[in-house]
Amino acid sequence: MKRLILFAFIAFIGFQAFGQTSNSEEELVKSYFKLSKKALFEANMNLSDEQAVAFWPLYNKFETEAGKLQDGRIAFLKEYAENFENMTDEQADEFVRKVFQYRKKMLALKMKYYKQVKKATNAMVATRFVEIEQYVQTAVRYEIMEALPFVGDEGL
């Protein structure tokens, strides 16, 4: 299951960054990633019925907010992919600033939902939520770093 999620997201990032899909194909891959990610959470959260009633609405809200941040991330990754060979100092600085800004916003979002999940369930459930989310984000970040060339490199 974990590999399916990574494949879906990497395909989505790759297609987005390098302009290889239509909007409908991008939406299909994005939907598949979201469904696969939710299945990973379902399989690993180990929620009681009561916890599930409290958790899933919060998870859905988190995913909606995270999706908006991720759309911004995809946009700056696409811009990077289009410019990495001949990037100026200003463009490189702007790219790194956007990466840090994205990570700061994502961390704040995870902290916000950690607190909400903890309040609605307990600290163990909230911690598990953060651990699984962090796992997915770390794996995706690794795959993105493997796929994208370093600034100034030639060709993809």
Per-residue pLDDT of 53-76, as tens digits, reads 999 999 999 999 998 998 888 788
Exposed, middle or buried by CB within 10 Å (0-12, 13-18, 19+), for 125?
Answer: buried
Q: Is the pLDDT of residue 155 over 60?
A: no
78 lies in some domain: yes
153 lies in some domain: no
Mean per-residue pLDDT for 91-102? 90
**Model pLDDT, residue 96:** 87
Work out the angle at residue 66's Cα, subtended by the Cα atoms of residues 64 and 70, and round it to the nearest 5 degrees.
Answer: 115
As a whole number, the mean pLDDT across the chain is: 82
Q: Is the pLDDT of residue 18 over 50?
A: no
131 lies in some domain: yes
**Model pLDDT, residue 156:** 47
Q: Is the pLDDT of residue 117 over 90?
A: yes
Mean per-residue pLDDT for 30-44? 85
- Closest by Cα among 27, 24, 57, 59 to 40: 59
Fill in the DSSP letter of residue 21.
S
Distance CA 79, CA 123 (A): 39
40 lies in some domain: yes
152 lies in some domain: no
Could you tell me if 12 and 142 are in contact, meaning their C-beta atoms sit under 8 angstroms apart? no
Mean per-residue pLDDT for 2-19? 50
19 lies in some domain: yes
39 lies in some domain: yes
154 lies in some domain: no
pTM of the model: 0.78
Q: List the domain range (segments joined by +) for residue 97.
A: 2-147
Name the domain count of the chain.
1
